Amino acid sequence: MKVLLTGSEGYIGAVLRDALLEHGHEVTGLDTGYFSDCDFGAPPTPIPLVRRDLRDTQREDVEGHDAVMHLAALSNDPLGNLRPGLTETINTHGSIRLAQLAKEAGVPRFLFASSCSLYGQGGALGLTEDAPANPQTPYARSKIDFEQALAAMTDDSFSPTFLRNATAFGVSPRLRFDIVVNNLCGWAWTAGRIVMTSDGTPWRPLVHVKDIARAFVCALEAPREAVHNQAFNVGSTENNLQIRDIAYKVQRQMPECEVSFGSSDGDTRTYNVDFTKIETRLPGFERARFTVDDAITEFLDAFRRLALKDEQFQGRLYTRLRQIKHLQETGQIDEELRWRKS
């Protein structure tokens, strides 16, 4: 199938493109390129790229595709706090523009990279897809707002699917250290300390970036009736962990490291999610294949191979907010995150 992959230059996109190519699909990327010089090791597999801001998507960008996989976004809470309204403008309104153009152009499938963070401060354990959204941040709010707008566009010829990803982990050619498992592994390797900003009690559902990629491929290849206007939590019950459990798992593979706790960093997110639906109703997925322990081993191999240093771990390349601030401070993008003409 011909797939337009937005956010193709980011952490998940760089892995998902390979999964699509391995399954014989034809992939074109669409991305504005904030992180295109942020390689971790070898660069991602090259694919044709439309270098475009989501806010300016054109009909010709989407025309002729069998599916849009929509990942492009300001992808976390710190970015969401950069400037009021920006997350809404890009993640909600930019996404609505893309979906409307896709629908008008007759693209039958639209797969959206949503997030389990829309459950927010979920009081209960085991939140299913029917649990009410309780977004705690502009980022999480943008995910539920766009899901609702997209659901309203559903008809016989336009099938959206909402893949509500748990927090990702694992190595990617466009690595992020600003997500919890990756961050704690980076601390352990570079400082010999595993440093939590919280008291370690919040729950996080977690999922390997390769399992996210496989979920997208399964949803793309599934019969329409299995995925039409359906939400799926993407992750596994086994990978629902409290943050301190992640720290102790890292320590088990690097026993010389100390674990340290913070108090509260004002982050009220805690949620524990049920993954029965994806395991039983998304054809071909069955279960997430990778555990946090697998990823810690994978990270230690990669850090050894690439001789990861503290300045790289703490630097701009692998922390989304630092890279965006660098692009602003060096005059490459403006306050609206638009590229300045040179």
By the rule CB under 6 A, 90 interacts with ligand NAD: yes
φ, ψ at 68 (rounded to 5°): -110, 130
By the rule CB under 6 A, 72 interacts with ligand NAD: yes
Q: Least distance from C-beta 160 to ligand NAD, angstroms? A: 14
Sign of CA pseudo-dihedral 145, 139, 332, 15: negative
| Candidate residues 73, 184, 282, 327; the one interacting with ligand NAD per rule CB under 6 A | 73
Q: Judging by beta carbons within 10 Å of its beta carbon (0-12, 13-18, 19+), is residue 307 exposed, middle or buried?
A: exposed
Q: Token match 């250290």: residue?
A: 177
| Candidate residues 13, 80, 138, 205; the one interacting with ligand NAD per rule CB under 6 A | 13
Nearer to ligand NAD, 257 or 273 (CB): 273
Nearer to ligand NAD, 176 or 316 (CB): 176
By the rule CB under 6 A, 170 interacts with ligand NAD: no
By the rule CB under 6 A, 232 interacts with ligand NAD: no
By the rule CB under 6 A, 78 interacts with ligand NAD: no
Q: Least distance from C-beta 264 to ligand NAD, angstroms? A: 21
* Residues 15-54 interacting with ligand NAD (rule: CB under 6 A): 31-35, 53-54
Q: Which residue is nearest to ligand NAD (CB)?
A: 10
| Candidate residues 28, 75, 182, 272; the one interacting with ligand NAD per rule CB under 6 A | 75
By the rule CB under 6 A, 11 interacts with ligand NAD: yes
| Candidate residues 12, 131, 185, 194; the one interacting with ligand NAD per rule CB under 6 A | 12
How far apart CA 319 and CA 31 sit, in angstroms, is 18
How far apart CA 115 and CA 249 sit, in angstroms, is 24
By the rule CB under 6 A, 118 interacts with ligand NAD: no
Per-residue binding letters, 171-190, with ligand NAD (x by CB under 6 A): ---x-x--x-----------
* Residues 259-278 interacting with ligand NAD (rule: CB under 6 A): none
Structure tokens at 305: 């191979």
Q: State the residues that interact with ligand NAD by CB under 6 A.
A: 7, 9-13, 31-35, 53-55, 71-75, 90, 94, 113, 115, 165, 167-168, 174, 176, 179, 320
